[in-house]
């Protein structure tokens, strides 16, 4: 089986597995003061250092969570609570549902930052909106903009946008889940106030993530209890998950050049699909994650393609598959102006640390064969 669904979950890196097993052996609570507890804390702090170093941050500014969704929820809801609701969220139209739904449930006004047909946020609109900002009406501007899109891989101009928001006295929350381990990430350069991360997109385990926040960034907890994680996120930490997270991210950062090299295989695959089948590739003209290719052949439904590819031994996804496994039309592609027919025909392939050059050729071979069979059926 060729696994081409890394943006859903990357396979566990061996370094992460080893670190997890070692942490499981410790079997103690990092908050306990006895020897085993101190050993557990040592492993946790090692991982905190590894994740912080991967984003060029200080370990003390990192809060471990149960994943990307919780990190995003903490950033959005925790900021809104601390600002007493006196803010307006400016949320890009291509955010993951973890972001858009938490924004929608935050109880404050949400305005949409639209994207152009390439998938990039419209910074002219943002400049204009911030220029007209009336603090007495809209409170603090809080931009919510992702680092890279999970469906198309399109990288957002976060640095420029965050600078504009900072100049306007606002805050920026960035969902960095898809960027970690695929791109160099430097929180100081990005200039954001909060960065949400998830382990399982970078070769760590599922169910663990982190929120980085710049020192002094306003935030109230959304979970209350034993006061772990500087009382920002109560609950006994997932020690083995955290240890796996740290080790995975360490390995991913060391292998960033291998990740970068995937882009030439991806580009060659896309050129073949364009020349032999005339597919539309989303985000092709703008900076993208090196591992992601989202393409559509109008009228060939995504779920049919995903099932046929599975039978052919290639695991891909429709960018818009939801947790129930059902496929719905991609809101991301619609936001980029794709017609319904095109948006319903898009599949996402995404590669990573275990992918080989031949995986790209075999993906293209399988997909072209499937299209050929489908076209024969259509003309019969
Ligand atoms: N943000 C983005 C861009 C994602 O792709 C995902 C997962 O698909 C999430 C957030 C949620 O992360 P998690 O699965 O760790 O909750």
Task: Please indicate whether residue 180, judged by its CB atom, sits closer than 6 Å to ligand 1.
Answer: no
Is the distance from the beta carbon of residue 191 to the nearest atom of ligand 1 less than 6 Å? no
Cβ–ligand 1 contact at 209 (below 6 Å): yes
Gap from CA of 68 to ligand 1 centroid (Å)? 5
Which tens digits make up the pLDDT trace of 113-133?
999 999 999 999 999 999 999
CA of 344: how far to CAs of 283, 297, 298, 328, in Å? 16, 9, 8, 7
Give, rounded to a whole angstrom, the gap between the first and last alpha carbons of the chain.
31
- 95 touches ligand 1 (CB under 6 Å): no
Tokens of 284: 């092709």
Q: How much distance in Å is there from the Cα of 340 to the middle of ligand 1?
A: 24
Residue ranges covered by each domain of the chain: 2-10+256-379, 14-253
- Listed residue (225, 160, 168) closest to 192, CA to CA: 160
Q: Are 43 and 243 in contact (CB under 8 A)?
A: yes
User: How many other C-beta atoms can be found within 10 angstroms of the C-beta atom of residue 369?
Assistant: 12
Q: CATH classification of 14-253 is 3.40.640.10, yes or no? A: yes
What pLDDT is attached to residue 311?
98
Q: What is the mean pLDDT of residues 364-380?
A: 94
Q: Give the span between the Cα atoms of 168 and 146, in whole angstroms.
A: 19
Task: Reply yes or no on whether the pLDDT at 370 is more than 80.
Answer: yes
Q: How far is Cα 378 from Cα 286, in angstroms, rounded to an integer?
A: 34
Residue 329 has a pLDDT of 77
User: 208: pLDDT confidence band, cut at 50, 70 and 90?
Assistant: very high
Share of the chain above pLDDT 70, in %: 98
* Secondary structure of residue 56 in the 3-state scheme: coil
Ligand 1 site, residue 67, Cβ cutoff 6 A: yes
**What does the pLDDT average to over 215-230?**
97
For residue range 284-307, what is the model confidence (pLDDT) as tens digits?
Answer: 999 999 999 999 999 999 999 999
CA of 376 to the centre of ligand 1 (A): 38
Pocket probe mutation, ligand 1, options 5, 8, 150, 205, max atoms within 8 Å of Cβ = 150
Q: Tell me how far the alpha carbon of residue 260 lies from the centroid of ligand 1, in angstroms.
A: 21
**Of the listed 87, 174, 265, 322, which one is catalytic?**
322
Indicate whether residue 175 lines ligand 1 (CB < 6 A): yes
Atom of ligand 1 nearest to the CA of 146: 3
Cα of 299 vs centre of ligand 1, distance in Å, is 29
* Tens digit of each residue's pLDDT (9 = 90 or more) over 156-187: 999 999 999 999 999 999 999 999 999 999 99
Q: Alpha helices, DSSP H only, in 83-151?
A: 97-104, 123-131, 135-138
Q: How confident is the model at residue 85 (pLDDT cuts 50, 70, 90)?
A: very high
Taking residues 64-93, what's their average pLDDT?
98
Instruction: Using most ligand atoms within 8 A of CB, pick from 7, 51, 66, 69 the residue to mutate for ligand 1.
Output: 69
Active site residue 322: yes
Q: Which contiguous run of DSSP H or E holds residue 330? A: none
Atom number in ligand 1 closest to CA 209: 15
- Of all atoms in ligand 1, which is nearest to the CA of residue 198? 15
Instruction: State yes or no: pLDDT of 323 exceeds 60.
Output: no
Cβ of residue 173 lying under 6 Å from some atom of ligand 1: no
Kindly tell me if the per-residue pLDDT of 218 is higher than 60: yes
Q: Please, where are the H alpha helices in 63-122? A: 68-82, 97-104
Rounded to 5°, angle at Cα 210 from 214 and 244:
135
* Residue 378, pLDDT score: 86
Closest atom of ligand 1 relative to the 200 alpha carbon: 15
Q: Judge if the beta carbon of residue 69 lies within 6 A of ligand 1.
A: yes
CATH fold of 2-10+256-379: 3.90.1150
Q: Strands 292-296 and 280-281, how do they pair?
A: antiparallel
> How remote is the CA of residue 205 from the centroid of ligand 1, in Å?
13
- Ligand 1 centroid distance, CA of 69 (Å): 6
Residue 227 pLDDT > 60, yes or no? yes
- The b/e string for 283-310 (b: 16+ C-beta within 10 A; e otherwise) is bbebebbbbbbbbbbeebbbbebbebbe
């Amino acid at each position: 089986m060729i696994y081409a669904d890394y943006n859903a979950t990357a396979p566990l890196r061996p370094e992460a597995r080893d670190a997890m097993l070692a942490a499981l052996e410790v079997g103690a609570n990092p908050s306990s003061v006895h020897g085993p507890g101190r050993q557990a804390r040592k492993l946790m702090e090692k991982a905190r250092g590894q994740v912080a170093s991967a984003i060029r941050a200080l370990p003390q500014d990192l809060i471990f969570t149960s994943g990307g969704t919780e990190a995003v929820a903490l950033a959005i809801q925790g900021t809104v609570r601390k600002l007493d609701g006196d803010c307006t969220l400016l949320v890009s139209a291509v955010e993951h549902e973890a972001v858009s739904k938490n924004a929608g449930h935050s109880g404050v006004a949400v305005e949409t930052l639209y994207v152009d047909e390439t998938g990039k946020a419209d910074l002219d609109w943002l400049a204009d909106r911030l220029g007209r900002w009336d603090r007495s009406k809209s409170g603090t501007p809080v931009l919510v903009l992702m680092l890279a899109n999970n469906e198309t891989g399109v990288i957002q101009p976060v640095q420029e946008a965050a600078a504009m928001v900072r100049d306007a006295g606002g805050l920026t929350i960035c969902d960095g889940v898809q960027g970690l381990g695929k791109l160099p990430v430097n929180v100081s350069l990005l200039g954001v106030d909060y960065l949400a991360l998830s382990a399982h997109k970078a070769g760590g385990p599922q169910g663990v993530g982190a929120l980085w926040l710049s020192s002094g960034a306003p935030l109230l907890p959304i979970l209350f209890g034993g006061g772990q994680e500087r009382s920002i996120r109560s609950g006994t930490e997932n020690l083995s998950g955290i240890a796996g997270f740290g080790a995975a991210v360490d390995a991913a950062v060391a292998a960033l050049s291998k990740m970068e090299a995937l882009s030439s295989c991806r580009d060659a695959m896309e050129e073949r699909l364009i020349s032999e089948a005339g597919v539309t590739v989303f985000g092709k003209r703008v900076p993208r994650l090196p591992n992601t290719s989202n393409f559509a052949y109008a009228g060939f439904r995504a779920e049919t393609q995903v099932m046929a590819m599975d039978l052919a031994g290639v695991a891909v996804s429709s960018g818009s598959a939801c947790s129930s496994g059902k496929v719905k039309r991609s809101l991301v592609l619609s936001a980029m102006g794709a017609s319904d027919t095109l948006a319903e025909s898009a599949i996402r392939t995404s590669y990573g640390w275990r992918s080989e050059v031949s995986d790209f050729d075999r993906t293209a071979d399988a997909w072209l064969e499937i299209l050929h069979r489908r076209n024969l059926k259509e003309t019969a």
